[in-house]
Amino acid sequence: MDKVGKRYLGSLTSLRFFAAFAVVLFHSWNTYFADAFSGTPAWALNFIFSGFTAVSFFYFLSGFILAFNYGEAHSFNIDLTRFWRARVARVYPVFLLSLIIGAPFAFNNISHGETLFERGRDFLLSGGMNLTLLQAWAPRFASGWNPPGWSLSCEAFFYLLFPWIGLVVWRVPKRALLVSLAAVWGIGMAAVWICVKNSPGLPFIYGGHLPVQAELLLETASAEFIKSLPIFHLCEFISGVILGRVFLLQKTETETENRIFPTLVSFSFVALIGVLCASDQIPYFLLHDGLLLPLFAMIIYGLARSPGIWDKILSQPVLLLLGESSYALYILHAPIKAWFVLIDKHVVLSRWVSLPVQGLLYFTLTLTLSIVAYKKIEVPWRKRIQAFTWNRRTFIQVSPDTRVAAKN
């Protein structure tokens, strides 16, 4: 996680691994574990199949960290060229690797035309949109090449807007920040609710372990539109930016706060687990598009605000490494799984090992390759891209004395 001259929030880095693993388990349960553990209680299945909520956590955390890294308590000054170059360096090399790994499967996953020309056209269109990180704006292409990749398309949109989001957030008076945070979250939820209610043929679906009929409905165009369109997730990111500024404005922790915040984090973790275990009672699209932000906010703010027992646990070197590798784990796990399933189809691994053991092998392989990708691809290429120089530099700035955008 970036530091930019400030203290390293290691506990938040480690949390990213657990969020990424939740997504991997969500995408793998039916393939490797559902049959062997058919007696799994409903509340546990609800928890497992709510793994998609980790994506909202990523958006919120991304906004918080960018605000923490690029802002000060009373000023916001960002070099646009350096910022966007750093974002490309952070996400694109490993994402490009995921497209290469998944390319052999993309033709069948994406192409829905009847003729070879139509299928080839869809393949090329999808490839172009993925390479330019625009796939989430076209629901039919959002998940075909690499299912988790649609969320990176959303992140690219957020990165594009972040300098101007910061410009607005840093103009909000301190006393109005928490009200603004609640308002932005409420607007996001209201937008999702209105779209679901006004989408013909899309019944109100609850979360948790969904029946087959509901899963099919979630693959319709209107459902994909609400799930993946970046505009529906923008409030999650903006909320994180606002909380990041709230954090920057706070003074040094007191002894009382050192006791309060670890308790707040513990309470929030328990509440989050409880909500996810009961997710079959919660509207799916609200759950998918940011309903849990208040709990995420308490966890992130509590961990960042006061180092305590949770910080000690989550700052262990192994967890920090897993956290740093979590982006690679998240973006590579689906194409790696596609290859794993293909190998099983031709080699028939089930002759020698059971499906749950295959699942454990898949987890081990994916985690190992993610760490390798982080160390050998993400870090080296990030340094190379950030070392690239560009003469034109454009700044956006907000400070007590300067309340306008400044360019030079």
Tell whether the model's pLDDT for residue 204 goes beyond 50.
Answer: yes
| Region 8-27 average pLDDT | 93
Residue 252's pLDDT is 64
Q: Residue 356: count other Cβ atoms within 10 Å of its Cβ.
A: 13
- Phi, psi values for residue 138, rounded to 5°: -125, 95
Angle at CA 51, nearest 5°, toward 304 and 293?
40
Which tops the pLDDT comparison, 126 or 157? Answer: 157
Residue 349's pLDDT is 73
Residue 404 pLDDT grade (very low, low, confident, very high; cuts 50, 70, 90): very low
- pLDDT tens by residue, 113-141: 667 777 788 888 888 999 999 999 988 78
| Region 77-84 average pLDDT | 90
Whole-number percent of the chain with pLDDT over 90 = 61
Chain centre distance of CA 38: 29
Residue 221's pLDDT is 74
Which tops the pLDDT comparison, 23 or 254? Answer: 23
CB-based contact 178:253 (threshold 8 Å): no
Tell whether the model's pLDDT for residue 203 goes beyond 60.
Answer: yes
| Region 59-76 average pLDDT | 93
Residue 153 pLDDT grade (very low, low, confident, very high; cuts 50, 70, 90): very high
Residue 282's pLDDT is 93
Among 401, 398, 404, 325, CA closest to 70: 398
- pLDDT tens by residue, 270-293: 999 999 999 999 999 999 999 999
Which tops the pLDDT comparison, 89 or 258? Answer: 89
Residue 306's pLDDT is 74
Report the distance separating Cα 306 and Cα 318, nearest Å: 22
Whole-number percent of the chain with pLDDT over 70 = 87
CB-based contact 101:193 (threshold 8 Å): no
CB-based contact 367:337 (threshold 8 Å): no
CB-based contact 239:184 (threshold 8 Å): yes
Residue 399's pLDDT is 61
C-alpha distances in angstroms, 12 versus 241, 313, 323?
A: 15, 11, 8
- pLDDT tens by residue, 218-265: 767 788 889 999 999 999 999 999 999 999 998 666 666 667 888 899
Q: Lowest mean pLDDT: which of 274-283, 319-328, 350-359?
A: 350-359
Tell whether the model's pLDDT for residue 402 goes beyond 50.
Answer: no
- Phi, psi values for residue 253, rounded to 5°: -65, 145
Report the distance separating Cα 292 and Cα 240, nearest Å: 13
- Phi, psi values for residue 405, rounded to 5°: -70, 135
Report the distance separating Cα 274 and Cα 81, nearest Å: 43
Q: Lowest mean pLDDT: which of 7-11, 108-112, 313-317, 354-358?
A: 108-112
Please give the mean pLDDT across all residues of the chain: 87
- Phi, psi values for residue 314, rounded to 5°: -80, -10
Note if the pTM is more than 0.85: yes
The contacts of residue 346 (CB under 8 Å, 6+ apart) are none
Report the distance separating Cα 175 and Cα 180, nearest Å: 10
Name the residue with tokens 């990424």. Answer: 20
